[in-house]
Amino acid sequence: MANYDKMQEIKEFDNSKMGVKGLSDSGTVTIPKFFIHSPEILSDLKPSPNKTVSIPVIDLSSVSDRREDIVKQVREAAGDWGFFQVINHGVPVSVLDETIAAVKAFHELPAVEKAQFYRREEGKGVMYTSNNDLYRSQAAAWHDSLQVWMGPVAAPTEEIPTICRKELVEWDSHSKKVAEQVMELLSEGLGLVSNRFKELTFAESRAMVGHIYPYCPQPDLTVGITPHTDPGILTVLLVNQIGGLQVKHGDDGWVDVKPLHGALIINIGDFLQIVSNGEYKSVQHRVLANSFKEPRISIVEFFNLAKWRDSDDYGPLPELLTDEKRAIYRDFTQQEFIQNFYGKGLDSKSLIDKITIA
């Protein structure tokens, strides 16, 4: 339409602070035009036809007795899939269920109550918003988010919405323990000492994001989250039983991730691919728009290093490099990392593409 003003529509939507939850609750049968994605994105939006292939599931019970075997499983999963689920990770199922219920309860608050948290100040504090890259992306995605920074400078506890405050603070503690355990296994998988990643503060910068994917009336025209890779070190993901997450895997194409009650999903970020000199892989993933009346809930905790090197740059770990195994990525600065993420919408491996040595 000649008179369509995309930016004006985006601003009106953003200023309404209603989010996609508000659009869904309104009973609309058509989505706004700025949510409609390109034909390239829309061409294969469907569940995977291959129901026999899925990401690895790793049992962390008795890790002290079976450590060598579990390290091998984690290394292979991180190097091939970039994604895996962990079970018997030490977090009570009741805590998982309570965390999901608390995030869902926040998103189901009346719009006027949620509006007080609605803002676009990324990188700190508490932020409720729809699409953190709303003004940077080619098209919006059908989800809303509550973002809470947990480190290195934690959001003041009193700023976290009361309805989910206790659960999110507790969840941060649990997810950090899981991440640190997995990082020990990943470190050992590279032949390093188990606490190497902890020394490098790989779990100290943490942002928790509670997503809701409400019912979408036109799921064939948009996505829940666009295809992307995570930019940081490691991601710990807790989801309810509504599917939609897909991982891209070689000749298998897009593979559905079947939620396992009581499990946590782990995935490798671009940063870890770089520091491991390509031994571990960050992998493209996406979420389909939700066609179910029940909302999909996911709680994502992103882990990144808190303290940059004294030289203010980072790259493959020197202890992984030899004359036979040279660096395949150049060093990059913190500023380059930040500008690459916040300067555009979600994408896949754009920093890796920039720093790969030809």
276 in a domain, yes or no? yes
* pLDDT at site 341: 83
pLDDT in tens, 71-125: 999 999 999 999 999 999 999 999 999 999 999 999 999 999 999 999 998 889 9
DSSP-assigned letter for residue 175: H
40 in a domain, yes or no? no
pLDDT band at 335 (very low <50, low <70, confident <90, very high): confident
For the segment 43-64, the average pLDDT, to the nearest whole number, is 90
Query: How many C-beta neighbours within 10 Å does residue 282 have?
Result: 27
Q: How far apart are CA 123 and CA 106, in angstroms?
A: 21
Domain that holds residue 244: 51-355
94 in a domain, yes or no? yes
13 in a domain, yes or no? no
The bridge status of strand 285-288 relative to strand 245-249 is antiparallel
Q: Which residues contact 342 (CB under 8 A, 6 or more apart)?
A: 122, 123
For the segment 320-325, the average pLDDT, to the nearest whole number, is 95
Contact at 8 Å (CB) between 137 and 342? Answer: no
pTM comes to: 0.95
Tell me what the pLDDT averaged over the chain comes to. Answer: 94
Domain count, the chain: 1
* Least confident segment among 297-301, 323-327, 333-337: 333-337
Using the predicted structure, report yes or no on whether residue 3 has a pLDDT greater than 90: no
Using the predicted structure, report yes or no on whether residue 232 has a pLDDT greater than 60: yes
pLDDT in tens, 194-220: 999 999 999 999 999 999 999 999 999
pLDDT band at 171 (very low <50, low <70, confident <90, very high): very high
26 in a domain, yes or no? no
269 in a domain, yes or no? yes
Residue 93 sits in a domain of what CATH number?
2.60.120.330
Using the predicted structure, report yes or no on whether residue 156 has a pLDDT greater than 90: yes
Using the predicted structure, report yes or no on whether residue 311 has a pLDDT greater than 70: no
29 in a domain, yes or no? no
46 in a domain, yes or no? no
Q: How far apart are CA 56 and CA 41, in angstroms?
A: 26
pLDDT band at 26 (very low <50, low <70, confident <90, very high): very high
Query: Which pair of structure tokens corresponds to residue 56?
Result: 């690895």
For the segment 229-254, the average pLDDT, to the nearest whole number, is 95
